[in-house]
Amino acid sequence: MPEGPELHLASQFVNEACGALVFGGCVEKSSVSRNPEVPFESSAYRISASARGKELRLILSPLPGAQPPQEPLALVFRFGMSGSFQLVPCEELPRHAHLRFYTAPPGPRLALCFVDVRRFGHWDLGGKWQPGRGPCVLQEYEQFRENVLRNLADKAFDRPICEALLDQRFFNGIGNYLRAEILYRLKIPPFEKARSVLEALQQRRPSPKLTLSQKIKAKLQNPDLLELCHSVPKEVVQLGGKGYGSESGEEDFAAFRAWLRCYGMPGMSSLQDRHGRTIWFQGDPGPLAPKGRKSHKKKSKATQPSPEDRVEDPSRPSKALSRTRRAKRDLPERTATQRPEGSSLQQDPEVPTVPKKGRRKGRQAASGHRRPRKVKADTPSLEPEGTSAS
């Protein structure tokens, strides 16, 4: 899912692609989007963007003499699980373009589209960053560092460091792949207590005997966790392209996939944290690892058996197939209305809450008919927030 670097790259894309374009007319929202209408119309306006953490601000600025007279309008976007901006010809609108800004004539008509396949993304009118989010790890590093170290008494730091890193009140811009890469580089177990990891940084002071160049060199050679929260996202931005993406075969994501060292890589282990998010790591998970859960190690493609190597008894039905059939028979189809309405800044806000699994009690009636199951809508995160946080 999009994290801080992806939002920053998206703002760069909008500014570079739209800097010389003039837009005109109304802003068009798709009929299926639950986001608010954008009450803006102008015969000629420009679009610019900026990013902060996991949010992107779009500013629509009417040109002098544009009709009707209109004040600039700002929108703040959160990308959810799959949001992005695309600039396309009007006759080639993407299927999931939920907000569209059209260029003014003359010239070929283009559309800047907010594309969101999974529809967890959101936009707000007014242009204010979401309250409660901490300073941006990319662009406000000093304030970010101070905010974390000043608030180590907060109960968020009683939790495992992998969970604390998703708390957008303190780590605005960090998400699932970034936390894995940061902890891996420092060899910190993901389920080590966050306060234990961070308290030592309060005492860290460079020797007054070192020159400025020596201090910089020492910092680059031995970065701490908070420094990596700034420098690792910066590396992703410097790669260019689109940053994180799961679409295979796209050249934009090739550099990013080559950059990854831990997240989803062969030989790495994985566990789910208490929010249902998968954390990738190497070695010991740490003392706060969930009890009763086994870590899974990803095999390299070379070690995975090919279809020819798998010998199965054709007389025995596939367990996976039978499980799939049972699931289809027992579970009603989930609708869009069952998605979580709220989110918590204390976990990655753009990520839907994962419902806990439970064993169904009771037996089938003698007639063979199953009793209808009660289906609860997914509940929002336990605590107040803002990002799912991709």
Question: Which whole number is the average pLDDT over 374-390?
Answer: 39
Share of the chain above pLDDT 90, in %: 64
pLDDT in tens, 184-198: 999 999 999 999 999
Which range, 187-191, 340-344, 377-381, is most confident? 187-191
Share of the chain above pLDDT 70, in %: 70
Q: Are 277 and 351 in contact (CB under 8 A)?
A: yes
Q: Which residue matches tokens 């790890």? A: 137
Q: How far, in Å, are 130, 182, 277 from residue 280 at the CA level?
A: 29, 11, 10
Tokens of 251: 């050249």
Instruction: Give ranges for CATH 1.10.8.50 in the chain.
Output: 152-288
Instruction: Give ranges for CATH 3.20.190.10 in the chain.
Output: 2-123
pLDDT in tens, 249-283: 466 688 899 999 999 999 999 999 999 999 999 99
User: Is pLDDT larger for residue 102 or for residue 330?
Assistant: 102
Return the sign of the alpha-carbon dihedral for residues 13, 15, 16, 17. positive
Q: Which residue matches tokens 């994290």? A: 3
Question: Which whole number is the average pLDDT over 61-69?
Answer: 96
pLDDT in tens, 134-150: 999 999 999 999 999 99
Strand order in the sheet with 269-272: 278-281, 269-272, 296-297
How far apart are alpha carbons 375 and 125 in whole angstroms?
A: 34
Question: Which whole number is the average pLDDT over 361-390?
Answer: 43
Phi first, then psi, for residue 232 (nearest 5°) are -70, -45
How far apart are alpha carbons 237 and 220 in whole angstroms?
A: 18
User: Is pLDDT larger for residue 216 or for residue 233?
Assistant: 233
User: Is pLDDT larger for residue 115 or for residue 206?
Assistant: 115
Is the per-residue pLDDT at 343 higher than 80? no
How far apart are alpha carbons 129 and 51 in whole angstroms?
A: 10
Which residues are 124's β-sheet partners?
76
Q: Which residue matches tokens 């995160």? A: 381
Which residues are 89's β-sheet partners?
110
Residue 315 pLDDT level (bands cut at 50, 70, 90): very low
How far apart are alpha carbons 112 and 31 in whole angstroms?
A: 17
User: Is pLDDT larger for residue 204 or for residue 149?
Assistant: 149
Mean pLDDT of the chain: 81
Q: Which residue matches tokens 């707000």? A: 124
Among the residue ranges 172-176, 189-193, 347-351, the one predicted with the least confidence is 347-351
Closest CA to 132 of 172, 166, 164: 172
> Strand, coil or helix: what is 107?
coil
How far apart are alpha carbons 336 and 118 in whole angstroms?
A: 10
Q: Which residues are catalytic, by number?
A: 2-3, 54, 339
Question: Which whole number is the average pLDDT over 345-351?
Answer: 63
How far apart are alpha carbons 242 and 247 in whole angstroms?
A: 11
The fold of the 152-288 domain, in CATH, is: Helicase, Ruva Protein; domain 3 (1.10.8)
CB within 8 Å of 278: residues ≥ 6 apart = 176, 270, 271, 272
Closest CA to 13 of 178, 175, 237: 237
**pTM for this structure?**
0.76
CB within 8 Å of 366: residues ≥ 6 apart = none
CATH 3.20.190.10 fits 2-123, yes or no: yes
